[in-house]
């Protein structure tokens, strides 16, 4: 049997919840929140995890609410299991977690449930079981994740300038002239393949043969912002100004519209030879430089990832030609899927006012 709350009852609970938040009344906030979640048909076990109380406590609160109404929200503590950390302590815990273990005086830079357990006991004198620490972290909005590298050379001022000034102006100019916005980059696909996660039987780690050959299949590529069109070309030699210029010339030959080219700061992009080439193409070609160390602002990076997942992850290439065939097939596939390419532009698409 499930109890249903009428509209006025729900409004009363919401009012008491707001009062509890304003005046930091933890017990009233918790009870009101639990009852409101119950009124929204959330399952008892889920409510228990969210509010860090036992299912039995929730049933007791429901019973008290049925008998005494909103007065039950203010009942004094009369036994039963208390929450070991109050709301203020939980808030302080999140501050420490966000600052990282080293800021809390630990040698390691990685939070583990055991380390958080030690932190709670050290700071609050509360001893939690490890499995409860995990449940607490999830309830506070945390998950166990793999860290990622971010360059310490980031220039946040220039990144902000790119998103707030340069990109909007570029977009308006391209739309006004009916031009193409191309995000360009290079990639190398290794003959020894690449490893990725896959489902496998427990105790049987997947193994992929490798020749150890260090040869790479090198490509120039560009994707177009408005249409999702893909341009790419194999580079038979190392990436340099000459091969890069040849790629841009081929794009100009394949199009008639003005080109707004977005590139990163690779040396062969900004060499004296390339600057001279770009100056000679100003009638149709305008070049924009991304902020330094900002691959997250170049959507074609995600195309390379998707292509590696399709072409090289967990695959063995005994012959270099087979690698090239696999990469060409992947890029050919994505070239015919403009909607997938458009989906790579992320935050840029939010500012597309076409």
Residue 164 to residue 170: CA distance in whole angstroms: 11
DSSP 42: -
Reading the block at residue 128, the tokens are: 């939690």
Q: Is 44:55 a contact under the CB 8 Å cutoff?
A: yes
Q: How far apart are CA 54 and CA 29, in angstroms?
A: 16
Asked if residues 62 and 38 have their Cβ atoms less than 8 Å apart, the reply is yes
Residues forming a β-bridge with 286: 260
Predicted local distance difference test score (pLDDT) of residue 257: 97
Helix runs in 196-256, H state only: 241-254
Transcribe 285-322 into DSSP letters: EEEEEPPTT-GGG-THHHHHHHHHHHHTBT---SSHHH
**Residue 306 CA, distance from chain mean position:** 15
Residue with tokens 């120039």: 220
Tell me how far apart the alpha carbons of residues 217 and 84 are, in angstroms, rounded to a whole number. Answer: 58
Q: Is the pTM of this model over 0.75?
A: no
d(CA 330, CA 191): 15
| Distance between CA atoms of residues 111 and 103, nearest Å | 12
The C-alpha atoms of residue 230 and residue 235 are separated, in whole angstroms, by 16
- Report yes or no: 186 and 218 within 8 Å, Cβ to Cβ: yes
d(CA 219, CA 311): 14
Position 55 scores a pLDDT of: 86
Kindly report the CATH class assigned to 156-350: alpha beta
Cα distances (angstroms) measured from residue 296 to each of 151, 154, 159, 264, 300: 11, 12, 11, 11, 9
The SS3 of residue 199 is coil
Contact 85, 120 (CB under 8 A): yes
pLDDT tens digits, the chain, 354 residues: what are they?
567 788 888 888 888 878 877 776 777 888 888 888 888 888 888 888 888 888 888 888 888 888 888 888 875 544 445 568 888 999 999 999 999 999 999 998 899 999 999 999 999 999 998 888 998 998 888 888 878 776 677 788 999 999 999 999 999 999 999 999 999 999 999 998 888 888 778 888 888 888 777 899 999 999 999 999 999 999 988 899 999 999 999 999 999 999 999 999 999 999 999 999 999 999 999 999 999 989 999 999 999 999 999 999 999 999 999 999 999 999 999 999 999 999 999 878 754 434
Instruction: Enumerate residues 6+ apart whose C-beta is below 8 A from 341.
Output: 223, 224, 228, 229, 230, 303, 334
Both tokens assigned to 322: 């087979």
| In the chain, where the domains are located | 7-74, 87-139, 156-350
Contact 299, 348 (CB under 8 A): yes
Torsion over CA: 27, 28, 29, 35 (sign) = positive
Buried b vs exposed e over 199-220: b needs ≥16 C-beta within 10 Å?
eeeeeeeeeeeeeeeeeebbbb
> Quick check: helix, strand or coil at residue 271?
coil
DSSP classification of residue 194: B
């Amino acid at each position: 049997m499930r109890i249903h709350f009428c509209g006025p009852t729900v409004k009363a609970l919401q009012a008491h919840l707001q009062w509890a938040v304003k005046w930091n009344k933890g017990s009233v906030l918790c009870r009101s929140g639990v009852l409101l979640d119950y009124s929204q048909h959330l399952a008892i076990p889920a409510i228990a995890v969210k509010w860090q109380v036992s299912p039995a406590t929730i049933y007791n609160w429901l019973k008290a609410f049925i008998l005494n109404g909103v007065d039950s929200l203010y009942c004094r503590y009369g036994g039963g299991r208390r929450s070991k950390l109050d709301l203020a302590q939980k808030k302080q815990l999140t501050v420490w977690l966000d600052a990282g273990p080293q800021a809390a005086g630990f040698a390691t830079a990685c939070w583990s449930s055991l380390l958080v357990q030690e932190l709670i006991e050290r700071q609050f004198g509360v001893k939690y079981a490890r499995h409860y620490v995990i449940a607490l972290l999830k309830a506070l909005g945390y998950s166990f994740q793999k860290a990622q590298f971010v360059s310490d050379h980031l220039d946040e001022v220039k990144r902000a300038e790119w998103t707030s000034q340069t990109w909007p102006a570029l977009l308006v100019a391209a739309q006004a002239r009916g031009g193409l916005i191309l995000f360009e980059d290079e990639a190398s696909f290794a003959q020894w393949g690449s490893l990725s996660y896959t489902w496998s039987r427990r105790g049987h780690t997947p193994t992929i043969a490798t020749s150890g050959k260090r040869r790479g299949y090198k490509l120039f590529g560009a994707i177009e912002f408005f249409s999702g069109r893909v341009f790419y070309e194999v580079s038979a030699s190392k990436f340099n100004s000459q091969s890069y210029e040849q790629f841009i010339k081929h794009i100009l030959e394949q199009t008639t519209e003005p080109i707004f080219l977005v590139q990163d700061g690779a040396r062969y992009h900004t060499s004296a030879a390339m600057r001279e080439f770009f100056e000679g193409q100003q009638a149709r070609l305008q070049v924009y430089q991304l902020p330094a160390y900002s691959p997250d602002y170049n959507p074609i990076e995600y195309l390379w990832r998707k292509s590696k997942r399709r072409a090289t992850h967990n695959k063995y290439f005994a012959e270099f030609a087979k690698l090239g065939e696999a990469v060409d097939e992947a890029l050919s596939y994505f070239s015919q899927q403009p909607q997938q390419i458009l989906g790579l532009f992320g935050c840029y698409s939010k500012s597309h006012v076409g």
